Amino acid sequence: MKTFPPPSVPSIILAIIFHLISFQILHADAWREIQCDTAPPARYFHTMVNIDGTIYLFGGAGESSMGKHDPMSISKPNQLFMNDIWKYNTHYENKWQEEEPANTPPLPLAQHGAAAVNGKMLIFFGYSQTGHMEDMWRYDPAAKTWEHLPFQQTLPEARSAFSTVVLAQQPCIFGGLDKNGQPLREVWIFNNNEGTWEKKNTMLEGEERFGHGAFVQDEKMIIFGGRNAQGEYMNTVLYISSDFVTVKSWTSSLLAYNLPAAATLPYCFGGRVPRSSMQKTSPDRMATASDDTVSNQTWRLDVETQSWIRCADMPVALQNAAACAYEADGKTEILIFGGMTADGLPSGRTFVYTPGGTDVEEKPVMPDDYNLCQNYPNPFNSETTISYQLKGAGHVCIRLYNLQGQIVRMITDRYQHSGSHEVHLNASDLASGIYFYRMTVNGHQFIRKMILLE
């Protein structure tokens, strides 16, 4: 048998170096920093929208002469509010250029909402140096003019730190903080043709949140992350249909807030997270924000499997940045600008993330434990959805009981694999009242209450 001499020390060192270089190349393929001759001033709490391949940035809070900023609030005197507009042409320029509007812009704003509709940018609500704003403005890039939209009789509460998506060419907002600093839960949609707001869904008890993320997939609104009034991280994902009738929920493995989402793609970047989640792949409990940190993690939500997938980490840890997706050379990319660093300073760096193919890690996050979620909606009328998580495979039995302890429905009774699951309950043949549903699996038992309305 022919033998070969053991590899020399230099060859081993070269192999290690080559491996490290290869890893860095993979990482760089997913993320790259854009070096621009001119760029917007460093900021956070700003917005970006895509209008025909050009990304428009507006507002935010930025650097002042007083140094570091408070990541929890924008009401501090050391924060400078902005009302400038910058554009980034994704077709060929790859550079920032400041717009010069022909008329007076809105007041400087941060934590506001923005949406691109019919080739124009809508700006609404948010926070200024004087407090919460109820104004709405529309910017026309072609004419470079601002239009102040008139107040309506029905108007959402003034708010900040809320999410905005566009459904069927209509801006849709959810949650945020009101003037008293209390989280909100209502869904509102703006009819761009009529110029009116309409409240769409109020069956979201217990889902008040702010600083969360949202995106649209298959004409459905997906909401995740954020914090509630008690300062706890929200660990549920809301799935709202385009008719605002069907609302589903499942327990999320991602705990984060102050995070940018791509709005049109199921990705989120960085944000503030519990320190424990930086070491775990699947945090499964609510945590308070008393001991958290800024993250550089990138996540993609797989709605079909109801799981988060870890992707290539960001080059730097950021919160309160802005993200915007666009098409370039036949592929989808996401532009990230600004944000607040882990040191509490505003960032002025520009990054581009290319999804797919170059992710360093692609592993679905599986539940760390067994869990039975509260049904959604609750209270409900005839139909509701029950979500649950299984740490391991096993025979799952979910029964429905009335107040007398009698079994009135076998909801599910079958073997299931580990992961996140949901089952739909049609109770149209049952009398209104209070019911209990119990899940047993692998020696674990969970009981929750539901309320059936007439």
pLDDT digits (tens, 9 = 90+) for 158-205: 999 999 998 878 899 999 999 999 999 889 999 888 888 998 865 677
Per-residue pLDDT, 391: 86
Q: Residue 162: name the closest of 184, 179, 182, 181 by CA.
A: 184
Q: Is the pLDDT of residue 207 over 90?
A: no
Q: How confident is the model at residue 274 (pLDDT cuts 50, 70, 90)?
A: confident
Per-residue pLDDT, 55: 95
Q: How confident is the model at residue 289 (pLDDT cuts 50, 70, 90)?
A: very low
Second CATH level (architecture) for the domain 33-353:
6 Propeller (2.120)
**Model confidence pLDDT, tens digit, residues 327-353:** 887 788 999 999 998 888 899 999 999
Question: Fold match between 33-353 and 371-452?
Answer: no
Q: Which of 227-231, 293-297, 423-427, 432-436 tops mean pLDDT?
A: 432-436
Which region among 9-13, 112-116, 232-236 has the lowest average model confidence (pLDDT)? 9-13
Q: Is the pLDDT of residue 2 over 70?
A: no
For 301, other C-beta atoms within 10 Å of its C-beta total 24
Q: What is the mean pLDDT of residues 145-165?
A: 87
Per-residue pLDDT, 27: 37
Domain boundaries, the chain: 33-353, 371-452
Per-residue pLDDT, 300: 87
**Model confidence pLDDT, tens digit, residues 244-264:** 776 777 776 667 777 766 667
Q: Is the pLDDT of residue 206 over 80?
A: no
Q: Cα–Cα distance between 323 and 308 in angstroms, integer?
A: 18
Q: Is the pLDDT of residue 361 over 50?
A: no
* Mean pLDDT value across the chain: 80
Residue 154, classified by CB atoms within 10 Å of its CB into exposed (0-12), middle (13-18) or buried (19+), is exposed
Per-residue pLDDT, 383: 87
Second CATH level (architecture) for the domain 371-452:
Sandwich (2.60)
Q: Is the pLDDT of residue 359 over 60?
A: no
